Structure 1
């Protein structure tokens, strides 16, 4: 080393030690110019730049150092550390994975980077290797369980957590993750016990508080859930993404969608890198705002649509030939007792097996009697829960599926990530899963009908609209439901919707309806009113809306007491989110529904249903029309009596309950789509 180089090196190190970043950086640059083949000056610059917070430049310096000396691990380790700080965990994982002889700390950092990058499958493998070196590490066991939960591999997660809790019985992170597993298994009471243990420490972690809030919310204890979510937000700030998402969920469940949306938007603006969870919540909340339009939701979904690789092993297609049975794959988390079951089950049952073959990919976490019914209707049944997107895509391709249909849209438990692997020649979704676009431009269609999506609404969808002449799927009532009850003695309006769909504008309309219908009252019935806190809260909202003394809250049990329909003469639909299943059950029980419709699909379920049974006049556009339709029907006692006596048969004979015809509509539409594409099954949109 020349004297000049020694002096420059000494100058650089001395400047760095005394905190003269500018001097150190300049000396480092001169060293790099004099030693272009050496990695040390670049590494030194990277350290100085990182200390200054100039992370992109630091990453570039460390990357160049790693190129010059690929066998030197310190460059990749430093780059990975900065990459994690800069929000690039995938980059960190690539460099840590390239280390020739990783140490245990490198393996731990690699696993953490993979987890942060969302590659749960690789993270599980990395934590597994680390666990071989640290078999009694509670931290590793807990981290492993978190990734197993993300993959839906709950039994394995429980095994890891049980082991962790043997080693550390009061570990808050292990207790929190076990609470999350119980929530996924629809055991909110057990989850609450675990989350309270984790949150009961003097300085509880955010995750424990949020798990507790979720457990309370799932039990219908919305006021308590809101209080816990407020506590969590108070610790980290209301804009912190996880706290904001939890708080917004609690607010939305209380019919305060406007507050929830504002909170989520502020958090998204402050933390754009944490968009996924915030956008998912916004997609749930926005339809509850009267001024939301489909284009708003489409813009949001664009933040979630990231491209995925399409290896040839997955993208290779299955060809369909004219005259061959069309193999339809249905992918859903809701093959269970769920509102969608009343539509999906009869659709599968109605398919003509001479024309189509049905393959079901079940993402259901908690199976029940409905699951068995779905299983019987499938020609091929696959439990896909716990498979990675790539694994599931490969399974779908191996099954020879011609058309893959997502049944969940953007609702909870969806597997839209699978769609990006193009595992079937034709892929699409259906509007039953949330009433909105998926935002995936690569889909070939979204199943809808002419009333949910009249001409002119295409700009709110990333997918081409495949309109059916009637309902997207048939409705099949539960055979266990009782016969229609006689007309009640008292004139009562009813609403059996989830109170999350209520809002001040709707309550104001209901007050106007009652004002115009002397002697009538309003019955609100739902399981959410069971808790004392929720009942008191909603009584306060009703009183503030001018409904004091004229509205009754009725808590329903989890099995939904059907005799409540014997107390109601007219059901009032909600707005802006219109009811589908709740409206159809009421109509089946002989109770007419008055609805208000708008232009968005989620605002038109009531209109579509009523139109298909010849009662389109009971759905009105605008608040005035809604109030007037309710008043006119309430005044027409003769019509109410006729409807009471004949609604069930009218619905039974309508297109909505014609299972074979509605399934045939779907088959015709899909076969037509395949024919338009040609028998080659080439990729691309229809």
Structure 2
């Protein structure tokens, strides 16, 4: 009997049990038959037994066979087990044998994406889909590679191709459309994904977020509640991984948020374990400068980058060296200022995550600040590889991380008072100064006529992003205008958010004639707009950070309500730092009453503006050295606690 032929016929017919028996007998009779060994390995992979298939495939290749199919199968098997480094070697072997094989190209490209090397991945994946346009997995990974590089429209197109084979790719289409600012397309895609998989919390969280951005408050609250219930019940699948950032401010509970963070941590640790391990980090001993490293995707015109524009240059170069590792390339004036302020600035966009970690380790960084957390473009797996013995989170994700690779989260005593709840495992490290850095910002000049703003009336304003707004806030604003009949309200609203906001405004009984939606302006002109207003009405659930500082720089006072999380205390924290606690309200009713009193008293508003300008100068809010010195003191303190007195040099 031809055992090999029988095995292959049964395999092709789908009789895997029978095929395996015949393969084993055939190999016993012809142990040197490498194609037979490869075919048995293929069957074992079909049966989800990669650990048995891998030795067979390695035998095929070690026997000297130039077998691209075996090398490709080995790459996929190792990828499934998380051994990314060995899998990439196998994919390279396959491509060396057959550089035009679409599956080998897919293997190489997908593994590059997993390793954080999106730049290398793109040409392999484009070649794969050019040869085999219906290779839907290649389209998916091409979408991931393009998404990692913020090429949203191209990524959307790739994911749409992948949807032909996998309808669940609608979720990724939505993410890219959202990042590109097309909220309508994003919401439609998320709704499609939700209809296909109604029990997925990750889809619901993204849907709630995009609805918040569009000011569809009722829809956002309803979908957030559905996600909260799924997470609290603990019944979602292992592959369901909601994004932590929206969970930090959506109306969900700590139990659900903790679950999301734990899932994120498990995923990141798994990715890190799949990358080559680093030797233990080395550090300078006493007598040399302390090396501070900063890791971020936002070293450019971004809320974080703008705050940091003068920070790096402000460090004391007699005691510290400053090294920045940029996860995304930026080419603007903020990026130029940041680069100029560093002793070393490494553009890491095209580097794999393990290569970035190795560079940080080789640079001998003493303390590494992660400025991204779980936000877009961040690579927490770099931190999970532990390139530095002291690693701290700051600025990018102002919330608990539950991250074993971080030794603390940098906050301050205003946004996280010592008596406030902190239900997270991370150590909360409090600066004495405001945790947000800043540098010189335009002070602006009043110009209501030039900006088309109403003259001769108290002008209240909100310049927060639309997703920070909510129904309770709109209700408070409507009540303020009802009780202060001369006041008008100026609200920053992107076009995609205006219809949703106006619907809520009307539902609460707001006067449309006294509401003035406005759009984006360059920083200098925005400062003029802020200087033309009388009072900034801060949000409730996620308060003004960089926006609040810019307003204060223009002399615009900020009215805030003290919240129950650091994000909900950013504005009140700024007021506390400036010594303007009288602008921090205990609840929504007190917020309304204080706004009405101020809007009805032009003299009080003028005095408040003068106090704000004086407080900004007195507190050195816009002096980059203020935050730089606080970060230096924290670094010295934390290093000393971990490795002794040499850290104080």
TM bucket, shorter chain: 0.7 to 0.9
The structure-2 alpha-carbon separation of the partners of 1:217 and 1:390, relative to structure 1 and needing over 3 Å to count, comes to: closer
- The question of whether the paired residues in 2 share the 8 Å contact of 1:494 and 1:571 is answered with yes
- Secondary structure of 1:543's partner? helix
| Alignment map for 1:341-352 (pairs within 5 Å) | 341-352=305-316
- The question of whether the paired residues in 2 share the 8 Å contact of 1:609 and 1:656 is answered with no
Q: 1:638 aligns with which of 574, 595, 603?
A: 603
Matched, 1:510 2:442: no
| Alignment map for 1:548-563 (pairs within 5 Å) | 548-549=511-512, 550-556=514-520, 561-562=525-526, 563=528
The structure-2 alpha-carbon separation of the partners of 1:123 and 1:344, relative to structure 1 and needing over 3 Å to count, comes to: farther
The structure-2 alpha-carbon separation of the partners of 1:676 and 1:450, relative to structure 1 and needing over 3 Å to count, comes to: same
Structure 2 equivalent of residue 433 of structure 1: 396
Q: How many residues align?
A: 605
- The question of whether the paired residues in 2 share the 8 Å contact of 1:298 and 1:462 is answered with no
Matched, 1:214 2:175: yes
Structure 1 equivalent of residue 120 of structure 2: 156
Q: 1:521 aligns with which of 482, 485, 488?
A: 488
Structure 1 equivalent of residue 462 of structure 2: 495
Q: Compute the displacement of 1:476 (Å).
A: 1.4
Structure 2 equivalent of residue 327 of structure 1: 291
Structure 2 equivalent of residue 254 of structure 1: 214
Matched, 1:274 2:235: no
C-alpha distance in 2 between matches for 1:204 and 1:564: 50
The structure-2 alpha-carbon separation of the partners of 1:244 and 1:312, relative to structure 1 and needing over 3 Å to count, comes to: closer
- Secondary structure of 2:292's partner? strand
| Alignment map for 1:279-318 (pairs within 5 Å) | 281=243, 283-289=244-250, 292-293=253-254, 297-306=257-266, 314-318=278-282
Structure 2 equivalent of residue 399 of structure 1: 363
Task: Give per-residue Cα distances to partners, 1:31-80, cap 9 Å, x unaligned.
Answer: xxxxxxxx979x99xxxxxxxxxxxxxxxxxxxxxxxxxx9778765554
Q: Compute the displacement of 1:130 (Å).
A: 3.0
- Secondary structure of 2:433's partner? coil
- The question of whether the paired residues in 2 share the 8 Å contact of 1:96 and 1:110 is answered with no
- The question of whether the paired residues in 2 share the 8 Å contact of 1:315 and 1:421 is answered with no
Q: Compute the displacement of 1:353 (Å).
A: 0.6
- The question of whether the paired residues in 2 share the 8 Å contact of 1:172 and 1:208 is answered with no
Structure 1 equivalent of residue 565 of structure 2: 600
- The question of whether the paired residues in 1 share the 8 Å contact of 2:68 and 2:94 is answered with yes
The structure-2 alpha-carbon separation of the partners of 1:672 and 1:107, relative to structure 1 and needing over 3 Å to count, comes to: same
Matched, 1:412 2:376: yes
Q: Compute the displacement of 1:340 (Å).
A: 0.9
The structure-2 alpha-carbon separation of the partners of 1:319 and 1:230, relative to structure 1 and needing over 3 Å to count, comes to: closer
- The question of whether the paired residues in 2 share the 8 Å contact of 1:573 and 1:593 is answered with yes
Structure 2 equivalent of residue 355 of structure 1: 319
- The question of whether the paired residues in 2 share the 8 Å contact of 1:172 and 1:197 is answered with no
Q: 1:572 aligns with which of 537, 543, 547?
A: 537
Q: Compute the displacement of 1:442 (Å).
A: 4.6
How large is the Cα RMSD of the aligned pairs? Answer: 4.0
Unaligned runs of 5+ in 1: 1-16, 26-38, 45-70
C-alpha distance in 2 between matches for 1:174 and 1:634: 59
Q: Compute the displacement of 1:169 (Å).
A: 7.0
- The question of whether the paired residues in 1 share the 8 Å contact of 2:313 and 2:340 is answered with no
Structure 1 equivalent of residue 199 of structure 2: 239
- The question of whether the paired residues in 2 share the 8 Å contact of 1:317 and 1:423 is answered with yes
C-alpha distance in 2 between matches for 1:558 and 1:161: 38
Matched, 1:541 2:504: yes
Q: Compute the displacement of 1:143 (Å).
A: 5.3
Q: Compute the displacement of 1:671 (Å).
A: 1.0
| Alignment map for 1:360-509 (pairs within 5 Å) | 360-430=324-394, 432-457=395-420, 459-478=422-441, 482-483=444-445, 485=447, 489-509=456-476
- The question of whether the paired residues in 2 share the 8 Å contact of 1:492 and 1:521 is answered with yes
C-alpha distance in 2 between matches for 1:350 and 1:488: 41
Structure 2 equivalent of residue 8 of structure 1: none
Structure 1 equivalent of residue 451 of structure 2: none
C-alpha distance in 1 between matches for 2:204 and 2:329: 26
Task: Give per-residue Cα distances to partners, 1:131-189, cap 9 Å, x unaligned.
Answer: 34443344544554444344454443342344346546797766666555554444445
The structure-2 alpha-carbon separation of the partners of 1:567 and 1:664, relative to structure 1 and needing over 3 Å to count, comes to: closer
- The question of whether the paired residues in 1 share the 8 Å contact of 2:175 and 2:186 is answered with yes
Task: Give per-residue Cα distances to partners, 1:491-535, cap 9 Å, x unaligned.
Answer: 222112111112212222222222222222322213x22x4xx43
- The question of whether the paired residues in 2 share the 8 Å contact of 1:325 and 1:355 is answered with yes
- The question of whether the paired residues in 1 share the 8 Å contact of 2:208 and 2:224 is answered with yes
Q: 1:675 aligns with which of 621, 640, 649?
A: 640
Q: Compute the displacement of 1:578 (Å).
A: 1.2
C-alpha distance in 1 between matches for 2:68 and 2:167: 28
C-alpha distance in 2 between matches for 1:589 and 1:626: 22
| Alignment map for 1:114-193 (pairs within 5 Å) | 114-116=78-80, 122-142=86-106, 144-164=108-128, 166-167=130-131, 181-189=145-153
C-alpha distance in 1 between matches for 2:419 and 2:82: 38
The structure-2 alpha-carbon separation of the partners of 1:134 and 1:649, relative to structure 1 and needing over 3 Å to count, comes to: farther
TM-score when scaled to structure 2?
0.81
- The question of whether the paired residues in 2 share the 8 Å contact of 1:328 and 1:403 is answered with yes
- The question of whether the paired residues in 2 share the 8 Å contact of 1:597 and 1:619 is answered with yes
Q: 1:225 aligns with which of 183, 186, 193?
A: 186
- The question of whether the paired residues in 2 share the 8 Å contact of 1:317 and 1:425 is answered with yes
The structure-2 alpha-carbon separation of the partners of 1:254 and 1:270, relative to structure 1 and needing over 3 Å to count, comes to: farther
Q: Compute the displacement of 1:232 (Å).
A: 3.6
Q: Compute the displacement of 1:260 (Å).
A: 3.9
- Secondary structure of 2:248's partner? helix
C-alpha distance in 2 between matches for 1:207 and 1:177: 14
Unaligned runs of 5+ in 2: 1-12, 26-35, 449-453
The structure-2 alpha-carbon separation of the partners of 1:176 and 1:302, relative to structure 1 and needing over 3 Å to count, comes to: closer
Range 639-648 or range 182-191, more displaced: 182-191
C-alpha distance in 1 between matches for 2:89 and 2:205: 30
- The question of whether the paired residues in 2 share the 8 Å contact of 1:516 and 1:631 is answered with yes
Q: Compute the displacement of 1:345 (Å).
A: 2.8
TM-score when scaled to structure 1?
0.77
